[in-house]
Every structure is written in C-alpha cells, then in structure tokens.
Amino acid sequence: MTVEQPYTQPASATSSRARTVLIVAIALLLALLMGLVVVFYNLLKPAGLPVSAGTTADEMTWVRSMYGFGPATDEQLYAPVSVAIAPNGDIWATDQTRSRIMVFRSDGTFRRLVHTGGGGTGKGQLARPESIAFDPDGNAWVADTQGGKVIAFSQNGRVVKELPAETQARGVAVDAEHVYILDLGKVLVYDRATGKKLTSFGARGTAPGQIDAYQGIVAKDGVIYVADSFNKRIQAFETDGKLLWTVPGGTASRG
C-alpha cells in the first residue's frame, strides 16, 4: 500500500512570503510615522505660519527664507542674531556662533562671506559678532561682544576701522559723524572719521539715565535711542549724554 506524504511548501516560497510580509509591515510603519510627523507639525507650528511664498499671515507676507550658501552644516547659518540692509540692498546677517557674517542679495541668493575662519580676538577678527549697522558711506559696523570691539567692513569685506569698547561691545549705531557703542551700562561716542573717542555717558543701574541693556541702540538726527531691556524701557539721549526722555519709566525689574 502506498502512503501519501504530506505536501511541504518549498523553502524558497516560504522565504518569499516572509519577505513580502516584512515589506508590508515596514511600509505600514513608515506610513504611520509620516502621519505622526504631520500631526505633530500641525500641533507645534506657530499660529499663522505661511506655507508658501506670497502667503499672507497676520498682515505680513512671507517672501523667502535664507539659510546659508550650501547644504553642509558648516555652510549654513547657526545662530544669526542681527540683520541689516546695505545701501545697495544686500542683506548682511551676523552669525555669533560661527563668528562670521553672511551677505545675501536682495533676492535671497548668497553673495559672500565677509568674515571667515574659526573666529578670534586679533586685529580684523570676530569672536562673537552681534549687532550690525551701516554708515552713510556703506560701511558695515559690527559689534563684537566677546572681542570687546567694533569693526567696520567695506562692502567687499575689507576691514576699514576698529574701535575698542571698554568691556563688551553689545550694540552699535552710526550716523554721519559719530559711532555709538553700547557697552556695559554706558554709551561710548567716537568720531567716525578719525576713530577718536569723544565722550562716554551712563552707568549700569536702574535710575533714569542709567542703562542695563543687552542690545539695541540707534541714532538719528543727533538723538541716541537705547533699548534698556532689563529696565523695561526706552531712553533717549543727546550726543553729550543728556537724558531727553524715558518711556515708559516706573520701577525697573529683571524678568
């Protein structure tokens, strides 16, 4: 009598089926992961964030974003803290962590690196560039907080002048005749043409006329405006240090 043997599926067929099941499982997991990414993005994105060029949100129209000059990490902005527009329309951005300045054209395309290298405190070097302002001649004045100085760069990146701060150059403003450096608790006034220090005023504190600011100084028509951040106020001074007004005033506090 002949005994029939049970049918056994070939090993190759079993292996093929296992691969198919594995591929389907991986595809499902990837789809689930992408779905979670979309959900978390929609939950965490800021309200009114535009999704495409020309989209209007909160009465502002997003035009473009600029990240650097290449795809590599060290070719991108890391910690941009200040931006200013040059007379020719170029956009200058200081990157305090990478110790350099990136310049973009008005259409957002990259133009040049004004300062390269790992940074330093030597002549012509930037250690921690932050505030930036342009003078009427088109030179970019950059406050180097860690380097304790302000450096003026021409449009092609050449160092034009260096001015020392007393401790930290936290901010800079420029007008036709003067350069104003926001230092710790005071403002230093220099002659823009000669680089000679003319005067300084202010002291660190909370009283009217005293300053406790991290960054924020502009000058226009002979008046210096200081964003006195830790005292929660704006103060206006004449170039000789005379206090013109304080807004809003009141009790100062850190917070």
What are the residues whose beta carbons fall under 8 Å from the beta carbon of 234, sequence distance 6 or more? 225, 226, 227, 228, 246, 247
Residue 107 has pLDDT above 70, yes or no: yes
**How many Å apart are CA 57 and CA 180, to the nearest integer?**
36
And the tokens for 96?
A: 């305090």
pLDDT in tens, 162-183: 999 999 999 999 999 999 999 9
Residue 46 has pLDDT above 60, yes or no: no
- Residue ranges per structural domain of the chain: 11-45, 67-247
Q: How many CA atoms lie within 13 A of 131 on its CB side?
A: 25
pLDDT in tens, 244-255: 999 985 544 443
Q: Is the pTM of this model over 0.85?
A: no
Higher pLDDT, residue 8 or 113? 113
And the tokens for 253?
A: 């506090």
Amino acid at 133: A
Four-way CATH pick for 67-247: 2.120.10.30, 1.10.3720.10, 3.40.50.20, 3.30.300.10:
2.120.10.30
